[in-house]
Amino acid sequence: MAFLADTLKRVKPSATIAVTQKARDLKAQGRDIISLGAGEPDFDTPENIKQAAIEAIKRGETKYPPVSGIQPLREAIARKFKRENGLDYTPAQTIVATGGKQILYNAFLATLNPGDEVIVPAPYWVSYPEMVALNGGTPVFAKATIENNFKLTPEALEAAITPRTKWFLFNSPSNPSGAAYTWDELKKLTDVLVRHPHVWVLTDDMYEHLLYGDVKFATPAQVEPRLYERTLTMNGVSKAYAMTGWRIGYAAGPIELIKAMDMVQGQQTSGASTIAQWASVEALDGPQDFLEERRQIFERRRDLIVSMLNQAHGVQCPTPEGAFYVYPSCAKLIGATAPSGKKIETDEDFVGELLQEEGVAVVHGSAFGLGPNFRISYAASTEALEEAGQRIQRFCANLR
């Protein structure tokens, strides 16, 4: 009798975590590695947020918190949704968890039955389909192609919906493509969803504050109020506030769903760290001026890496509207031979040879459900990005 659960056969390890670890291992061996695999801001957590955590420790805020989060944070979350998104939620309609991943996982655990389908636009964040599979659901992929700047069309969404569809999982700005939907583009998708009342919406708004050019942020329940009663709106402090290690995600939605997620979390992890929660109160309620300054830095980095990639032989890189990722195509380089003599047959071969030859760690696009592409996180210094761009150009020029 096998010891490990059959469920694990349906799940793959995280490609982004694997690439980051491989880069760490090579660095430990003395290699000069530029790691552009992790989706983590290189900025530090702002001082006022760190100070709020220190003060919470000094006050003795170190006991078990309520499962769904401390009341001051749930109130701050409700204020945030009203202030920034025009969404009215009571604190009781909110929940706090140890990162956005747990919000998503708990929502699926609380709602999915075997055979239930979850529509996942591709390219997708690597954890989405694995979370669905772990909780007994079936991911259904709807492709968003490079021709459409990696944005899902209403026709593709409509075609993916079946009587078994339970959730539509939406992410804008997107990890891995950086694609961000305008209000009008999102309205076309919500018009489809209105026609299918059995489909719920789970929206991952983690990159909300990282938008460039003229694109303004919008979230489904804001664009189409008729979806309010069947939408779970997820967000967190990790990306905007450079708090990845604090592990705080949050969401708001219908009270019965929040209660179900609270029950699941109560038997799983209980409440998130009290200290991190008090820091998050300050993040949401405190000064927000640094967000614009950092957004501008990310925008300059985006422009730099897009320009350098489009100067690399055989690489096509669209300009994304948000997040801190680019998702270039290496389709024209499939079939080429690397300096090592290895033939590049897949995007995974491409990124593997790039790492070995030039010491640049990126993630292959097939891990995100759409290739041959690769994802670069430009949450790195300008110097590192310039050097990485030069190395990628050299690597591509040396393919035969």
Q: Dump the DSSP string for 293-316.
A: HHHHHHHHHHHHHHHHHHTSTT-B
pLDDT of res. 314: 98
pLDDT tens column, 35-55:
998 889 999 999 999 999 999
| Separation of alpha carbons 48 and 57, rounded Å | 14
Residue burial 127-143, b: 16+ Cβ < 10 Å; e: rest:
bbbbbbbbbebbbbbbe
Query: How large is the average pLDDT for residues 29-40?
Result: 91
List the one residue out of 339, 338, 325, 106 whose CA is nearest residue 232: 106
**CB distance 146 to 179 below 8 Å:** no
| Separation of alpha carbons 65 and 227, rounded Å | 31
CB atoms within 10 A of CB 188: 16
Residues of the chain above pLDDT 90, percent: 93
Of 13 and 260, the one with more pLDDT: 260
| Separation of alpha carbons 30 and 41, rounded Å | 24
Residue 215 CA to its chain's centroid (Å): 18
CATH T-level fold of 62-285: Aspartate Aminotransferase; domain 2 (3.40.640)
Question: Tokens representing 108?
Answer: 């699926």
pLDDT of res. 10: 81
Q: Find out if CATH 3.90.1150.10 is the number for domain 6-44+290-397.
A: yes
pLDDT of res. 289: 96
pLDDT tens column, 254-286:
999 999 999 999 999 999 999 999 999 999 999
Domain ranges across the chain: 6-44+290-397, 62-285
pLDDT of res. 150: 98
